[in-house]
DNA sequence: CTAAATATGTTGTAATTGCAACGAAAGGGG
DNA sequence: CCCCTTTCGTTGCAATTACAACATATTTAG
């Protein structure tokens, strides 16, 4: 079984910290490990916590239930990924999502205050952790803002154009490759795959863009 | 003219810091102030920066231009509000939006590293600033995630139900008041106002919910 | 290379939505 | 109380999209 440090070196929260510096820091972060079996709830929506979760092994889902009892899977997390950090740092009293263990999983919990508040001088790299947390939150912010810009267009056509324009700007070229297949892009844009294909076909007919598989070219 | 400290006490970044402690900290944050006239660009998309902006007075817009030259207004900021923080902290090399001064504005720029890295012991409250930044980013994350959950529903009907379910859960009751008028809710859900009214009317007919003005009740 | 599996495009239909225009309701002064 | 403004619901219509089902193309595995 992999050691905790070994796994955490690959977690964004411990980026830039040497593996042998992690172990001694865990005490300071009040880390506690817990195992969950397959199909067990790690956290129930509506409860409170002051701990940030990290998946050490296994796989967990973030689930939201509406008032009529319909469940939506918001995310699926694997090794090294964080959960709950935004709610805990944002001081949400009742966390509105559940966390569910899809497979047998080892979860590490870190105390929020300890994680974001570097200790005076005791742990050399403790400061890196809070700094990494800032980066993680900022980058997630950027990602969410981008997707929101696309999703807030009224028509699928405009969503597609918004997404492709963005991709072109990032690539610095009117010709670029996207990291999605059609189904993936449809999901990202919250649309039906065949409707997406139709819209893309129409845009090609109108000579607004051209594409072959995942390679696109924006005309004019 | 209001002093900088006076304005900053009302900025979320300086929450919990006494007004007379702000002034001495500004040096440490490498704060620089600059005035912009009406209709002047504060920042052009595609450039780089390592500074976080704060609107001291006036009003600025965050603008995004697509590859075809269409502009979208992403946000409009007033006194005390931050801009650029996610991009700067997230280490984005080329910032993809422009910042535009709608009116004559005073802008304060803070050095990212200095803002995020508390100094050893020099400024008593410097640590609060980086902690506040974490909270700001986390809360914005929550807000963005919530809206995305609604926007990622395929139909307007489902967007509406998703939003109202969330509102009910937050209120802790099936009866609650929403902070939007119809046009506001339509904008939030990226839909047409009259289409929203129609959907709400239909949901009422189907006895899935009831409403009068901004007061809603979810049935069953 | 072939068969199977997967991904993409196409078609038809029903439903939803955007859009514009209008009328009713609610709210705010004077 | 009335006028004015704003908000909200309704209607008709055109356009878009979801959805299902199928055809074609591409990839993968054997």
**What's the pLDDT band for B1 if we cut at 50, 70, 90?**
confident
Contacts of B220 in chain A (CB under 8 A): 68
Phi, psi (degrees; rounded to nearest 5) at A175: -110, 130
Q: Return the DSSP state at B14.
A: G
Q: What average pLDDT does range A76-91 have in this prediction? A: 96
Nearest to residue A208, comparing CAs of A146, A173, A160?
A160
Are A190 and B72 an interchain contact pair (Cβ–Cβ within 8 Å)?
Answer: no
- Determine the distance between B191 (CA) and C21 (C1') in angstroms: 18
Interstrand relation of B71-77 and B40-43 (parallel, antiparallel or unpaired) = unpaired
Each residue's pLDDT tens digit, A36-46: 999 999 999 99
- Determine the distance between B204 (CA) and C9 (C1') in angstroms: 39
Rounded CA separation B182/B195 (Å)? 10
**Amino acid whose CA is nearest the C1' of C25:** B213
Q: Return the DSSP state at B61.
A: E
Range with the poorest average pLDDT among A15-24, A46-55, A134-143, B191-200: A15-24
Each residue's pLDDT tens digit, B154-180: 999 999 999 999 999 999 999 999 999
Are B134 and A133 an interchain contact pair (Cβ–Cβ within 8 Å)?
Answer: yes
List bases in chain D with any atom under 7 Å of a protein Cβ. Answer: 7-12, 16-21, 26-27
Are A131 and B117 an interchain contact pair (Cβ–Cβ within 8 Å)?
Answer: yes
């Amino acid at each position: 079984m992999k050691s905790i440090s070994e796994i955490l070196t690959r977690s964004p929260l411990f980026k830039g910290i040497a593996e042998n510096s992690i172990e001694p820091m865990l005490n300071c972060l009040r880390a506690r490990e817990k195992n969950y079996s397959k199909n067990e709830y790690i956290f129930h929506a509506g409860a409170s916590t002051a701990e940030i979760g990290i998946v050490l092994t296994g796989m967990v889902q973030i689930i939201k239930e509406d008032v009529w009892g319909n469940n939506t899977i918001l995310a699926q997390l694997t090794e090294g990924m964080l959960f709950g950090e935004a709610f805990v740092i944002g001081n949400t009293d009742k966390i509105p999502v559940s966390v569910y263990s899809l497979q047998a999983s080892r979860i590490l919990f870190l105390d929020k205050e300890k994680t974001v508040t570097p200790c005076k001088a005791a742990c050399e790299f403790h400061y890196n952790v809070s700094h990494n947390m800032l980066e993680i939150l900022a980058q997630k912010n950027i990602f969410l803002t981008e997707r929101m810009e696309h999703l807030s267009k009224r028509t699928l056509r405009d969503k597609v154009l918004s997404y492709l324009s963005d991709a072109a700007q990032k690539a610095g070229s009117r010709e670029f490759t996207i990291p999605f297949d059609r189904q993936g892009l449809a999901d990202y844009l919250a649309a039906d795959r065949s409707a997406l294909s139709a819209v893309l076909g129409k845009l090609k007919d109108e000579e607004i863009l051209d594409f072959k598989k995942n390679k696109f070219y924006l005309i004019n």
